[in-house]
Structure 1
C-alpha cells in the first residue's frame, strides 16, 4: 500500500519486543516509533533468492492491506546476498496475552470484537491468517487492536500444510491434505472466545489422542453458565469445518453485533491506557 516511513542511521533501538520461529522484533525510535522484524538466516537447503522469496511473503501480503486493526507495513529491506532481511512496521503496542489476566470480560470483548473486525477485513480480501492467537494480537494505549505475524498467511482459501499454534489449530489442519484456511481461522477465533469466558483452553491439541478433544467429540462442549449468545457462537465456531460459520455469519450474529468496541476515533468507554501503567 506504500506506507511511508523515514528512517535514519541515527535512529536508536529502544528495546527488544519479542521473538518467534521466524525472527526477532525490536522497537526503534527516529522521527517516530517503529518496529523492525529481522528474519532468521536462510536454511541450508535454500538459495539466497529462495530465502528472500520466502521471507518477503509477509511484506507482500501486508503491503496490499489497509485496515486499522491490521498492522501497517512500511518497507522490506535485504542486504547484499540477502544475508540480512528486515520488515519495517508500525509499532502496534503490547500483546494482549498478559492483559487477559488482569482485565474483566466486558473489556476483553472490546478487544475481541476488534479482532473479528480485522479478520473480517482479511477474509473479505481473501487472506487467511492461519496463526490467530492472543500472542499475535497487539493493543496500543488508545485501545486499538492490531493483528500481526502474517508469515504463514495465505492469499487463497485453499490451504495446505500444518501451520499455527497447537491450542488454536483446527482439526482439519491435521487430518486433511487440503482445507479451507478461512474456515480454519474461525476455529481459532472460537478457541479465543472460549478462553475469554473460561480462562482456560479446552484442550492442548485438537487430535483424537487428546482426552479433552475426544470428550468434545463424544459429548460436545460443556458450556454450562455461558450466556446464550456466547454459547451460540461457540457451538458454531468450534465444530466440524462443514458446519462451521464463515466470518460473515459470525459478524452478523446478534450477540457479536451488539458488542461495544473501540473504533477509529470512537472509544468504547474503557480507559485501556491504564493497562500499560
Structure 2
C-alpha cells in the first residue's frame, strides 16, 4: 500500500454544523491547521524525547504494539508510541517504509477532534523498525464498557459517544477516506475532555472519484454484508453499516449477530421479510418468529434501538448498500441532530461517570 498522496480539501470539519456543511466558512481555519510543521511543533512544545518514561503497554494488534509514555520534562504530558512489526523478509526497506507510514501520512493530514492526532515518526538506524508518536487516550471503548452492566449504561451517554464517532466519520468521508475497520476496539476516549477518537487507519482507503475499496478487512461482527460477497465495494457505505453495529452494541451490550452472512441464523432471520412491517410506520408490528425461534425482518434490530431513530437506523441497516444511507443523511435527520454530545469546550450535560470512573481513579 503506497503513501497517502491525495491533495486534501481545505475544510475545517471541527466546526461543521450538524445540519449543513459550508466550505467557505471553514477555509481560513483549516489553513492554519494543515501546515506541515503543525504536528511536529506540538511534539517539540511537549518535548518528546528518548529519555521519556514508559508507563505500560496499552495495545497489541496485527500491525504492532502501542505503549503509553510520560514526558520527563512535561510530566503532565502523556503520549502513545506505536511500534510497527519489523520488516518482512520479502520487503525492501523502502517498501516497508511506504507500507507502514501509510497510516502516519494519512493521519498527518487530518485535523479533527474525533480523529487521533500523530506528532512524528522515527525510523530505526537499520531501517527495519518504525515508531509513530501520537495522542494518548484511555483503554479502548470496548474495554471501557465491557464490565459495566447494560442496566447502568445511560442511553443518552452512549448516544453522545456514538455521535462523536459519526462526526469523525463524516470528516473522513468528506476527505474521501473510508476507515474499513470501525469497531469499539479502534475507538479511544480522552477521558478529561470526554472526547472519543477514532484510531488505527492502517487499512483505511483513499476513495476519491467514487473509487471502490478492495479486499476484506476488519472484524467479523462489524462486517458489512457486501464486503463478504464482493472483492470491490463502496467503502463509505461499509463504514455506515459498522456505525450501525456500534450503535446497537453501545445500547445493548451485545451484537445483533456474529456475522452478516446467510449462514448466521440471526442475520438470516433479519433478511427475511416481515409482511406486517412498514418502514413508513412509527410503530413496529408484534414479533414474528421463524422456525429457529428468531424474530424475522428489520424489526428484529430496530426493536432494540430508540423509536425516534427508526427512520434513520432502518436505512443504516440496509443489506443492499445501494439503498443504505450515507453519512450526510445522518445530519439531516431530526433525531440525530438533536442528540447532545461533548465536543470542543461544550459538554453534553450527561453524567459519564459510570463508564469513566474506574479509569479516572487509576
How does 1:217-232 map onto structure 2 within 5 Å?
217-218=271-272, 219-221=296-298, 222=300, 223-224=302-303, 226-232=305-311
Aligned to 2:16: none
Aligned residue in 2 for 1:61:
106
* Structure 1 gaps, min length 5: none
Query: What is residue 78 of structure 2 aligned with on the other side?
Result: 33
Find the aligned partners of 1:262 and 1:249 in 2 and give their Cα distance.
21
Which residue of 1 is the match for residue 229 of structure 2? 175
Q: Residues 225 and 82 of structure 1: is their aligned pair in 2 closer, same or farther, counting only changes over 3 Å?
A: closer
Distance in 2, Cα, partners of 1:187 & 1:137: 16
SS in 1 for 2:341: coil
For structure 2, the residue ranges without an aligned partner over 5 or more in a row are 1-33, 273-295
The within-5 A match list for 1:213-252 is 213-218=267-272, 219-221=296-298, 222=300, 223-224=302-303, 226-239=305-318, 240-252=320-332
CA RMSD of superposed structures (Å): 1.6
Choose 1 or 2 for highest CA Rg.
2
Task: Give the corresponding residue for 1:115.
Answer: 165
Partners of 1:225 and 1:264 lie apart in 2 by 31
CA distance in 1, matches of 2:180, 2:236: 8
Q: Distance in 2 between matches of 1:121 and 1:220?
A: 32
- Distance 1:149-1:226 versus aligned 2 partners, 3 A rule: closer
Q: Deviations over 1:135-167 (max 9, x none)?
A: 111112220111100100012152000001110
Q: Shift of residue 94 of structure 1?
A: 2.6
How many pairs are equivalent? 277
**How far is 1:90 from its partner?**
0.9
Q: 1:52: which partner in 2?
A: 97
> Which of 104, 123, 146 pairs up with 2:197?
146
Q: Residues 100-152 of structure 1, C-alpha deviation per residue, up to 9 Å, x if partnerless?
A: 34332111111111001111111111111111111111112220111100100
Q: Provide the rounded CA distance (Å) in 1 between the counterparts of 2:91 and 2:225.
A: 30
Distance in 2 between residues matched to 1:77 and 1:231, nearest whole Å: 47
Q: CA shift at 1:225, angstroms?
A: 5.7
Counterpart mapping for 1:153-164 below 5 A: 153-156=204-207, 157-164=211-218
Q: Secondary structure at the match of 1:256?
A: helix
| Cα drift, residue 230 of structure 1 | 2.3
The 5 Å alignment of 1:194-205 reads 194-205=248-259
- TM (norm. structure 2) is 0.73
Looking at structure 2, the residues matched to 225 and 167 of structure 1 have their Cα atoms a distance apart, in angstroms, of 17
**2: CA distance between counterparts of 1:23 and 1:224?**
39
- Residue 80 of structure 1 aligns to a residue whose secondary structure is coil
The CA deviation at 1:235 is 1.3
CA contact (8 A) 1:190 1:237 kept: yes
For normalisation by structure 1, the TM-score amounts to 0.95
Q: Distance in 1 between matches of 2:84 and 2:203?
A: 14
> Which of 180, 184, 194 is the aligned partner of 1:130?
180
In structure 2, distance between residues paired with 1:116 and 1:176: 25
Number of the residue aligned with 1:78: 123
Q: 2:155 aligns with which of 90, 98, 105?
A: 105
State the SS of the aligned residue for 1:81.
coil
